[in-house]
């Protein structure tokens, strides 16, 4: 048992040092640009914050998320979407409520990209049973000028896990092998449960 505690302490120390290294790198780079988003869920409750910091032609994305109603740990799709509008009362083409559909598709879709190659695709969030999640990711797919363009961008947390369109050709739907159009658009991560406009 003592060996287990020692090993856990070692892992914790490595994680602390890694976090400090990222924080130092982000905080000391010259000429950094920053943006952030405050997320809310469809009921208007605070759902966390996301900071985006440009460092040496890459973006650090630092997310601290809290989802209400979470009862067990689960993965959630996490993306930058192409439009900076978070309307919880938005409706789809059929008139059904579709919270945050106003944020549009994933950033980069207009360039003809498919999931998981969108500029706005990020690693999934592993949300704990108490609703909390922390994620630090680095990406060179998007820059701040794309995120902060004329129509803005939004951070979206989805209801379900993201399969990143990883559907091998041995699987098929309606006789067609591989991922279908919906999977190539979203990774089948479902509805949008939290949204924040990047500013």
Cβ-based neighbours of 197, under 8 Å, separated by 6 or more: 37, 84, 85, 86, 152, 153, 154
Instruction: State the DSSP H helix or E strand holding residue 136, giving kind and residue range, or none if neither.
Output: strand 132-139
Q: How many whole angstroms separate alpha carbon 198 and alpha carbon 153?
A: 6
Tokens standing for residue 27: 């905080």
Q: 3-class DSSP state for residue 85?
A: coil
pLDDT of residue 164: 96
pLDDT of residue 2: 56
pLDDT of residue 18: 45
Tokens standing for residue 59: 């973006």
Enumerate residue ranges in the chain where pLDDT < 70: 1-33
pLDDT of residue 20: 44
Q: What percent of the chain has pLDDT over 90?
A: 75
Q: How many whole angstroms separate alpha carbon 193 and alpha carbon 67?
A: 8
pLDDT of residue 175: 87
CA dihedral 10, 16, 20, 21 (to 10 degrees): 40
Q: How far apart are the first and last CA of the chain?
A: 48
Fold of 31-197: Immunoglobulin-like (2.60.40)
Q: Give strand ranges (E) for the chain.
A: 33-41, 46-55, 58-66, 74-76, 78-81, 125-127, 132-139, 154-158, 172-173, 176-177, 192-197
Contact 158, 3 (CB under 8 A): no
pLDDT of residue 1: 55
Tokens standing for residue 43: 């009921």
């Amino acid at each position: 048992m003592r060996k287990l505690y020692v090993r856990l302490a070692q892992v914790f120390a490595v994680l602390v040092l890694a976090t400090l290294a990222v924080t130092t790198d982000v905080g000391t780079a010259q000429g950094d640009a920053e943006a952030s988003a405050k997320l809310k869920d469809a009921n208007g409750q605070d759902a966390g914050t996301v900071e985006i910091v440009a460092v040496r032609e890459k973006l650090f994305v630092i997310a601290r998320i809290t989802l209400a109603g979470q009862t067990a740990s689960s993965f959630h799709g996490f993306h930058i979407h192409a439009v900076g509008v978070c309307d919880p009362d938005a409706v789809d083409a059929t008139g059904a409520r579709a919270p945050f559909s106003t944020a549009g598709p994933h950033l980069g879709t207009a360039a003809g990209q498919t999931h998981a190659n969108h500029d706005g695709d990020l690693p999934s969030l592993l949300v704990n049973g108490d609703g909390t999640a922390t994620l630090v990711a680095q990406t060179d797919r998007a820059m701040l000028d794309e995120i902060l363009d004329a129509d803005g961008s939004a951070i979206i947390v989805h209801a379900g896990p993201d399969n990143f369109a990883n559907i091998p050709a041995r699987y098929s739907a309606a006789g067609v092998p591989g991922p279908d159009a919906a999977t190539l658009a979203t990774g089948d991560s479902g509805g949008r449960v939290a949204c924040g406009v990047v500013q």
